[in-house]
Structure 1
Amino acid sequence: MWFPRLASDRALKVRPVDAPFALTLNQHNTDRIYCLNQQAEALGLHRTMRLADARAICPTLVSHSAQPDLDARFLATLRRWATRYCPWVGYEGPDGLVLDLTGSTHLWPDETAMLEDMRQRAQHAAISLRLGLGETRGAAWALAHYGDTVGALGPLPVAALRLPPATIVALQRLGLRHINDLSTRPRGPLARRFGPEVLTRLDQALGHIPEAICPAEEPPHYAVRLTIPEPIGLLADVMAAVERLLIPLCDKLKMHEAGARKLVLTLRRVDQDSQQVELRLASAMRDATRILPLFERGVGAVDAGFGIDVMRLQAVIVEPLPLQQIGTIRQAQPDQLNDLISRLGTRIGLENIQRFLPADSHIPERSFRMAPAAASPPQNGWGSVKPRPLRIFSPEPITGQGAQPPSRFRWRRMTLTTGRATGPERIAPEWWMDDDGWRSGLRDYWRIDTHEGRRLWLFYTPQNPGWFVQGEFI
């Protein structure tokens, strides 16, 4: 199976365009055509062409940036679809699949009916597909790219042997343009001039050298099931069954060096009604001892009815969790904090538990951001060498004159006396950001220790003289 317009077909399925269309990829600081639809090909455009040249030929060309990662995912989806024809399906480059139909053709009237079904399904899905059926992998590839599905290999060009472009050009210069021309020549001179690759590819296509088809490995399925002989309904019995499910599931996660972030427990009652308990974790985990208590609240709210006879536990969201080297020095682990976040998340939702993270800005109001604690690991402290108050609020004006801090001022109905003033620390506005709060210009910040015990963060605006309180040290 060769999908000559895999990338453009994927993009057009998301956003249809009734015009010449092309996907571009930046290569060596130049936008070049990565894939294009049939209308663009009919106008003479081709891959690797510069986008500027393509627009000169076709001013109405619609272009978008290519996304090879999404194309790879789309090809993986097509691979799963192709397993309906045979179990042995592997990848053939970035835009093709190879199938070993041995032992599967008896499910169809004949091979022609199978190929016709492939074409019809691809056409219904608006996917360009070319097929090649041969006795060998090389022959099938050659017929899909340069032939008519089924036929002889001799009349096909030497490019059908999957050779490098430089080798193809060299063979054509010698007059060896077709596979027949190559197969009738003495093998010794060809091997001395071009190396063993040309003869190897020729023998693979003709079936003289076997070429295996390796199917893609299926991703692991993290789910376990338990059938209970006698229906259960007590909380202790259900939790004991959950423990029996967690142990093999965690063992499978450990074997693949993965951890679960979301678990779904399905409980089927004897009346065929099912209930689900969803558990989202603050970090990837595979420790059954730590996960089991987190299920207790959700399991306790389940209505067992006349009893539960089938239970299924599945890790819906899985993340890599590689093994760690155990050292002699004991290091602090965030397991207890993550367990607390997970336990609180089962009550109020993980998205409602937030943490402060540093932001890349010297402006006090922009030096931090809020992020869900479960989705963002803790980071190091702020990089400022100057101390910052724990509490920062909107600037509140106070009375004061001159560039030096006032010796006595009133703030929030309190009269305060300055004991020690440390500063100033001048902070300039970020000119590339439009912020109404910093339109007054520069700010000179002071750390003020008052006799009344308050430790405040004040600033003075030289352009528009005035004093403000913006934070308090705790």
Structure 2
Amino acid sequence: MFDGMQRRVVSLWFPRLASDRALRSRPIQGPFVLTLKQKNANRVYCLNAEAERQGLHAGMPYSDARAFCPDLRSRVADPQEDLRFLHVLRRWATQYCPWVGLEDAEGLVLDVTGSVHLFGGEEALLAEMCGKLQRAGFEVRAGLGDTRGAAWALAHYGAGVAPTGDMLRAIGALPVAALRLEARETVALQRLGLRRVSDLAAAARAPLTRRFGPGVLRRLDQALGAQPEDISPLAEAPHYGVRITLPEPIGLVDDVMAGTRRLLEQLCHKLKAQEVGARILCLTLDRVDHDSQQVELRLARPLHDPGRILPLFERGVSDIDAGFGIERLRLEATRVEDVHATQMNHVSAGPKDQLEDLITRIGTRIGLDNIQRFLPADSHIPERSFTLSSAAYCEPQSGWAPARPRPLLLFAPEPISGSGPHPPQRFRWRRMALTTGRAIGPERICPEWWLEDENWRSGLRDYWRVETQQGRRLWLFHTPQAPGWFVQGEFT
């Protein structure tokens, strides 16, 4: 591509990408860490510079970190969101060269061959990139060399620009870990006295190959330029958007729906080809007076069926003010999800599809997040035995079932008069005089000691199913530590 031109590569390393990204949205002063559950332990995933100065490091148990630093602030890490943001940085870096790829999960690699002169030279190019990233709140380290390995070594263990030509002179003083070796290989080389890249380059190759295999010397040769190493730029994500320009302005709802149908057919063809479905669709209508209006549609499941999606646009389109006419329509899927192929038959998921379409229709009026369903939770505590989740983003679950029946109606405990370990024969509840007909129990439930709960500070509870002579079937419990009776639920 650049015949006769020396290849030049830039490596950008973001040592605190996860914490920097989290602090950009919600800044925090003082030591801060992101935690992630690894090997059944909550560990430090990433930390800011202040936390590192306090003696903390990535990988240590979070409980130890809190012991070392009592004023430590933390949040839960989101590696998927970090990776998505790294793709955003990759797209930003394409302003400097078209060949930009990812370097593991914390870096970028750029082939700047032929584009350095556009930014005033190599030093100026690095200064501009690092300056913009630092002003955006990111800690970044950069290296530039003839090879990808040399640039990586300078970014992680050195700094600056390596002169064109002899890469051994540029990185020879760096530790052997700068060659992107495994930790066990680095330790083994250091035990042999090969601590620097120059030491490894001067050593006999045959014994090293017999002991470590070809991987160590391959990394050395790639860094020094003896073996080629490609930079594979990531392909741009497909754009799921279509538009149509009308020969004459339109204003009737039927005409707008007809145009929307044409756009949906084109868009769904793209979605099916990529095996994805739209979750959020945005229809933009440009008027002749240069104003525009939008109709956003949030779907309860990813779809690429135009016949099912089109009727869901009717309500939003009917509320559009066409003004003096609409001259252009644009339809874009702003959020897509994978759609896996399923076997179709005459009894395929028709009722399920109808339910999801109903959720979508109601969601366009009150919001998808306001349509919720109960999901089971693995807890013996009645109040914690279920969770509320958005129906559009979860599936019904059979889940964990309690050993004893639970009331369908559950409410906060309401005290009633009574004493002793057995349910009272007569009591008043909600201004009703009730008489116990049959009582089944007790079922003893202990508090979850590992969780703080103000409602369970009275200790364990003995639950009873009480059938009253008046027809009420209640769920009562007794607290032995602080004697008292309460009603918490009603069976239907």
Does residue 315 (structure 1) correspond to residue 326 (structure 2)? The answer is no
1:206 paired residue among 224, 230, 235: 224
Taking a change above 3 Å as real, the CA distance of residues 63 and 348 of structure 1, as seen in their structure-2 partners, is: closer
2:292 paired residue among 252, 266, 274: 274
What amino acid maps onto 1:87 in structure 2? P
Per-residue deviation, residues 42-73 of structure 1 (Å, max 9, x unmatched): 788776678899999x8799574673615434
Match of 1:195 in 2: 213
Match of 2:442 in 1: 426
2:281 paired residue among 253, 263, 266: 263
Q: Secondary structure at the residue paired with 1:268?
A: strand
Does residue 221 (structure 1) correspond to residue 239 (structure 2)? The answer is yes
Q: Secondary structure at the residue paired with 2:92?
A: helix
What amino acid maps onto 2:162 in structure 1? V
Tell me, in whole angstroms, the C-alpha distance in 2 between the residues paired with 1:467 and 1:171: 70
What amino acid maps onto 1:15 in structure 2? P
1:139 paired residue among 123, 136, 150: 150
Per-residue deviation, residues 172-208 of structure 1 (Å, max 9, x unmatched): 4555444444445554344334321233122212323
Tell me, in whole angstroms, the C-alpha distance in 2 between the residues paired with 1:427 and 1:471: 16
1:72 paired residue among 83, 86, 95: 83
Taking a change above 3 Å as real, the CA distance of residues 78 and 177 of structure 1, as seen in their structure-2 partners, is: same
Taking a change above 3 Å as real, the CA distance of residues 232 and 461 of structure 1, as seen in their structure-2 partners, is: closer
Per-residue deviation, residues 342-379 of structure 1 (Å, max 9, x unmatched): 22333344344444555556677776665543344333
Structure 2: tracts of 5 or more residues without a match: 1-11
Offset of residue 311 of structure 1 = 0.9
Tell me, in whole angstroms, the C-alpha distance in 1 between the residues paired with 2:46 and 2:224: 31
Per-residue deviation, residues 71-121 of structure 1 (Å, max 9, x unmatched): 434433322221221122111123221011134335333333222211321
On the 8 A contact 1:33/1:47 being kept in 2, the answer is yes
TM-score (norm 1): 0.77
Q: Secondary structure at the residue paired with 1:377?
A: coil
Taking a change above 3 Å as real, the CA distance of residues 261 and 179 of structure 1, as seen in their structure-2 partners, is: closer
Q: Secondary structure at the residue paired with 2:129?
A: helix
Match of 2:464 in 1: 444
Match of 1:123 in 2: 134
Tell me, in whole angstroms, the C-alpha distance in 1 between the residues paired with 2:342 and 2:197: 55
Tell me, in whole angstroms, the C-alpha distance in 1 between the residues paired with 2:226 and 2:324: 67
Structure 1: tracts of 5 or more residues without a match: none
Does residue 2 (structure 1) correspond to residue 16 (structure 2)? The answer is no
Tell me, in whole angstroms, the C-alpha distance in 1 between the residues paired with 2:435 and 2:151: 89
Tell me, in whole angstroms, the C-alpha distance in 2 between the residues paired with 1:102 and 1:356: 57
Offset of residue 133 of structure 1 = 1.7
Match of 1:251 in 2: 269
Tell me, in whole angstroms, the C-alpha distance in 1 between the residues paired with 2:299 and 2:23: 37
On the 8 A contact 1:262/1:318 being kept in 2, the answer is yes
What amino acid maps onto 2:246 in structure 1? I
Q: Secondary structure at the residue paired with 2:161?
A: coil
Tell me, in whole angstroms, the C-alpha distance in 2 between the residues paired with 1:441 and 1:309: 69
Q: Secondary structure at the residue paired with 1:347?
A: helix
| Same amino acid, percent of matched pairs | 52
TM-score (norm 2): 0.75
1:17 paired residue among 24, 29, 49: 29
Q: Secondary structure at the residue paired with 1:263?
A: strand
Tell me, in whole angstroms, the C-alpha distance in 2 between the residues paired with 1:446 and 1:245: 61
What amino acid maps onto 1:268 in structure 2? D
Tell me, in whole angstroms, the C-alpha distance in 1 between the residues paired with 2:223 and 2:131: 28
C-alpha RMSD of the superposition: 4.7
Equivalent runs, 1:345-384 vs 2, <5 Å: 345-358=363-376, 371-380=389-398, 383=401
2:310 paired residue among 282, 288, 292: 292
| Worse-superposed segment, 127-136 or 377-386 | 377-386
Taking a change above 3 Å as real, the CA distance of residues 104 and 348 of structure 1, as seen in their structure-2 partners, is: same
| Worse-superposed segment, 274-283 or 7-16 | 7-16
What is the total number of aligned residue pairs between the two structures?
463
On the 8 A contact 1:456/1:469 being kept in 2, the answer is no
Match of 1:154 in 2: 168
What amino acid maps onto 1:137 in structure 2? R
Tell me, in whole angstroms, the C-alpha distance in 2 between the residues paired with 1:26 and 1:469: 35
What amino acid maps onto 1:230 in structure 2? E
Tell me, in whole angstroms, the C-alpha distance in 2 between the residues paired with 1:307 and 1:223: 22
Equivalent runs, 1:31-180 vs 2, <5 Å: 62=72, 64=74, 67=77, 69=79, 71-147=82-158, 148-151=160-163, 152-155=166-169, 156=172, 157=174, 158-180=176-198
Taking a change above 3 Å as real, the CA distance of residues 233 and 65 of structure 1, as seen in their structure-2 partners, is: closer
Offset of residue 2 of structure 1 = 2.0
What amino acid maps onto 2:125 in structure 1? M
Q: Secondary structure at the residue paired with 1:229?
A: strand
Per-residue deviation, residues 304-330 of structure 1 (Å, max 9, x unmatched): 122111111122333333222336765
Offset of residue 252 of structure 1 = 2.6
Per-residue deviation, residues 140-162 of structure 1 (Å, max 9, x unmatched): 22232334322343242333322
